[in-house]
Chains A and B, each alone.
Chain A
Amino acid sequence: MTATTPRKERDAAAATDMRRFDLQRLRALIYKESLQALRDPSTLLIAFVLPVVLLLLFAYAVSLDARNVRIGVVQESQGASAQALAAAFSATDYLDASFAHDRREVADKLVSGALRGYVVIPQDFEQRLALRGSEPLVQIVTDGSYPNTANYVENYAKGVVLSWRAGLDVGAPPQAVVLEPRYWFNAELESRRALVPGAIAIVMTIIGTMLTALVVAREWERGTMEAVLSTPASVAEILIGKLLPYFVLGMVSTLVSALLAIFVFDVPLRGSLAALLLLSAVFMVPALGQGLLISSLARNQFLAAQIALFSGFLPAFMLSGFLFEIDAMPTPIRTITLLVPARYFVDSLKTVFLAGDIWAVFMPNLLAMAVIGMVFFMLAKRATRKNLEG
Chain B
Amino acid sequence: MPASAAVAATPQSTNADAAAVVIEDLDKRFGSVQALRGLSARIHYGRLTGLVGPDGAGKTTLMRILTGLLVPNAGRVTLAGYDVVQDNDAIHVASGYMPQRFGLYEDLSVMENMRLYAQLRGMDANRNTDLFDELLDFTRLGPFTKRLAGKLSGGMKQKLGLACALMARPKVLLLDEPGVGVDPVSRQDLWRMVQALTDEGMAVVWSTAYLDEAERCESVLLLNEGQLLFDGPPQKLTAQLEGRSFRMEDVGAERRAILTEALDLDSVSDGVIQGAGVRVVLREGAQTEQIQALADRAQVRLAPVPARFEDAFIDLLGGGPSGTSRLAERLPPVELGSDIAVSCRNLTKRFGDFTATDNVTFEVQKGEIFGLLGPNGAGKSTTFKMLCGLLKPTAGEAQVVGHDLRRATGAAKSRLGYMAQKFSLYGLLSVRQNLEFSAGVYQLEGQTRRERIEEMIDTFDLGGWLSAAPDSLPLGHKQRLALACALMHHPPVLFLDEPTSGVDPITRREFWTHINGLARKGVTIMVTTHFMDEAEYCDRVAMLSRARLIALDTPDTLKRAAASAERPDPTMEDAFIHLVESADQDDEANA
The answer to whether residues A22 and B2 also contact, given A13-B88, A35-B112 and a CB cut-off of 8 A, is: no
Decide yes or no whether A112 CB sits under 8 A from chain B. Answer: no
Q: In whole angstroms, what is the CA distance A234 to B88 when docked?
A: 11
Q: In whole angstroms, what is the CA distance A49 to B73 when docked?
A: 50
The answer to whether residues A233 and B120 also contact, given A20-B2, A28-B115 and a CB cut-off of 8 A, is: yes
In the bound complex, do residue B4 and residue A232 qualify as a contact, i.e. CB atoms below 8 Å apart? no
In the bound complex, do residue B70 and residue A16 qualify as a contact, i.e. CB atoms below 8 Å apart? no
Q: Mark B1-23, 1 if CB is under 8 A from A, else 0.
A: 01110000000000000000000
Decide yes or no whether A169 CB sits under 8 A from chain B. Answer: no
Q: Mark B97-116, 1 if CB is under 8 A from A, else 0.
A: 11101111111100010011
On chain A, the residues within 8 Å of B232 by CB distance are none
In the bound complex, do residue B89 and residue A20 qualify as a contact, i.e. CB atoms below 8 Å apart? yes
Decide yes or no whether B385 CB sits under 8 A from chain A. Answer: no
On chain A, the residues within 8 Å of B164 by CB distance are 227
On chain B, the residues within 8 Å of A222 by CB distance are 101, 103, 106
Decide yes or no whether B93 CB sits under 8 A from chain A. Answer: yes
Residues 64-120 of B contacting A (Cβ, < 8 Å): 64, 67-71, 73, 85-86, 88-89, 92-93, 95-99, 101-108, 112, 115-117, 119-120
On chain A, the residues within 8 Å of B120 by CB distance are 25, 28-29, 228, 231-233
Decide yes or no whether B121 CB sits under 8 A from chain A. Answer: yes
On chain A, the residues within 8 Å of B106 by CB distance are 222
In the bound complex, do residue B119 and residue A19 qualify as a contact, i.e. CB atoms below 8 Å apart? no
Decide yes or no whether B122 CB sits under 8 A from chain A. Answer: yes
On chain A, the residues within 8 Å of B107 by CB distance are 35-36, 39-40
Q: Mark A62-103, 1 if CB is under 8 A from B, else 0.
A: 000000000000000000000000000000000000000000
On chain B, the residues within 8 Å of A25 by CB distance are 119-120, 122
Q: In whole angstroms, what is the CA distance A234 to B2 when docked?
A: 13
Q: In whole angstroms, what is the CA distance A31 to B112 when docked?
A: 10
The answer to whether residues A32 and B101 also contact, given A16-B4, A229-B69, A231-B120 and a CB cut-off of 8 A, is: no
Q: In whole angstroms, what is the CA distance A17 to B121 when docked?
A: 15
The answer to whether residues A223 and B103 also contact, given A25-B122, A29-B120, A228-B120 and a CB cut-off of 8 A, is: yes
Chain A: minimal CB distance from B303 (Å): 46
Contact residue among A5, A32, A227, A234 (Cβ-Cβ distance under 8 Å from B108):
A32
On chain A, the residues within 8 Å of B86 by CB distance are 9
Decide yes or no whether A24 CB sits under 8 A from chain B. Answer: yes
On chain B, the residues within 8 Å of A387 by CB distance are 68-71, 88
Residues 251-304 of B contacting A (Cβ, < 8 Å): none
On chain A, the residues within 8 Å of B105 by CB distance are 32, 36, 224
In the bound complex, do residue B69 and residue A388 qualify as a contact, i.e. CB atoms below 8 Å apart? yes
The answer to whether residues A5 and B85 also contact, given A16-B2, A20-B2, A389-B71 and a CB cut-off of 8 A, is: yes
Q: Mark A366-390, 1 if CB is under 8 A from B, else 0.
A: 0000000000000000000011110
Decide yes or no whether A270 CB sits under 8 A from chain B. Answer: no
Nearest CB to that of B64 among chain A residues? A388
Decide yes or no whether A3 CB sits under 8 A from chain B. Answer: yes
Decide yes or no whether A175 CB sits under 8 A from chain B. Answer: no
Decide yes or no whether A27 CB sits under 8 A from chain B. Answer: yes
Decide yes or no whether A230 CB sits under 8 A from chain B. Answer: yes
Q: Mark B499-533, 1 if CB is under 8 A from A, else 0.
A: 00000000000000000000000000000000000
Give the total of B residues in contact with A, Cβ under 8 Å. 42
On chain A, the residues within 8 Å of B98 by CB distance are 227
Residues 1-51 of A contacting B (Cβ, < 8 Å): 1, 3, 5, 9, 12-13, 16-17, 19-20, 22, 24-25, 27-29, 31-32, 35-36, 39-40
Decide yes or no whether A190 CB sits under 8 A from chain B. Answer: no
Nearest CB to that of B72 among chain A residues? A3
In the bound complex, do residue B116 and residue A28 qualify as a contact, i.e. CB atoms below 8 Å apart? yes
Decide yes or no whether A124 CB sits under 8 A from chain B. Answer: no
Contact residue among A36, A232, A389 (Cβ-Cβ distance under 8 Å from B70):
A389
Contact residue among A19, A20, A230 (Cβ-Cβ distance under 8 Å from B69):
A230
Give the total of A residues in contact with B, Cβ under 8 Å. 38
On chain B, the residues within 8 Å of A229 by CB distance are 69
Q: Mark B291-325, 1 if CB is under 8 A from A, else 0.
A: 00000000000000000000000000000000000
Chain B: minimal CB distance from A29 (Å): 7
Q: In whole angstroms, what is the CA distance A22 to B122 when docked?
A: 9
Q: In whole angstroms, what is the CA distance A25 to B168 when docked?
A: 14
Q: In whole angstroms, what is the CA distance A226 to B108 when docked?
A: 17
In the bound complex, do residue A32 and residue B122 qualify as a contact, i.e. CB atoms below 8 Å apart? no
On chain B, the residues within 8 Å of A22 by CB distance are 122
Chain B: minimal CB distance from A386 (Å): 7
Q: In whole angstroms, what is the CA distance A126 to B134 when docked?
A: 101
Contact residue among A28, A35, A226 (Cβ-Cβ distance under 8 Å from B119):
A28
Q: In whole angstroms, what is the CA distance A223 to B85 when docked?
A: 22
In the bound complex, do residue B92 and residue A226 qualify as a contact, i.e. CB atoms below 8 Å apart? no
Q: In whole angstroms, what is the CA distance A275 to B115 when docked?
A: 39
On chain B, the residues within 8 Å of A234 by CB distance are 89
In the bound complex, do residue A32 and residue B104 qualify as a contact, i.e. CB atoms below 8 Å apart? no
On chain A, the residues within 8 Å of B96 by CB distance are 230
In the bound complex, do residue B70 and residue A388 qualify as a contact, i.e. CB atoms below 8 Å apart? yes
Q: In whole angstroms, what is the CA distance A224 to B116 when docked?
A: 12
On chain A, the residues within 8 Å of B102 by CB distance are 223
On chain A, the residues within 8 Å of B122 by CB distance are 22, 24-25, 232
Chain B: minimal CB distance from A282 (Å): 31
Q: In whole angstroms, what is the CA distance A13 to B87 when docked?
A: 9
On chain B, the residues within 8 Å of A388 by CB distance are 64, 69-70
Q: In whole angstroms, what is the CA distance A11 to B108 when docked?
A: 36
On chain A, the residues within 8 Å of B92 by CB distance are 230-233
On chain A, the residues within 8 Å of B104 by CB distance are 224, 227
Q: In whole angstroms, what is the CA distance A28 to B119 when docked?
A: 6
Nearest CB to that of A38 among chain B residues? B107
Q: Mark A313-348, 1 if CB is under 8 A from B, else 0.
A: 000000000000000000000000000000000000
Nearest CB to that of B86 among chain A residues? A9
The answer to whether residues A230 and B97 also contact, given A28-B120, A224-B103 and a CB cut-off of 8 A, is: yes
On chain A, the residues within 8 Å of B124 by CB distance are 24
Q: In whole angstroms, what is the CA distance A290 to B3 when docked?
A: 34
On chain B, the residues within 8 Å of A32 by CB distance are 105, 108, 112, 116
A-B contact pairs, 20 of them (CB 8 A): A3-B85, A20-B2, A24-B119, A27-B119, A32-B108, A35-B107, A35-B108, A35-B112, A222-B106, A223-B102, A224-B104, A226-B69, A227-B103, A230-B67, A230-B95, A230-B99, A232-B92, A232-B122, A387-B68, A387-B71
- Additional 20 contacts, C-beta under 8 A, given A3-B85, A386-B88: A1-B30, A1-B73, A16-B4, A17-B89, A19-B3, A24-B122, A25-B119, A28-B115, A28-B116, A28-B119, A31-B116, A35-B107, A222-B101, A222-B106, A224-B104, A226-B99, A227-B103, A231-B92, A231-B121, A387-B88
Rank and list the top 8 A-B pairs by shortest CB-CB distance, nearest first: A227-B103, A28-B119, A223-B101, A230-B97, A3-B71, A231-B120, A232-B92, A226-B99
Q: Point out residues on A near B: beta carbons under 8 Å.
A: 1, 3, 5, 9, 12-13, 16-17, 19-20, 22, 24-25, 27-29, 31-32, 35-36, 39-40, 222-224, 226-234, 386-389
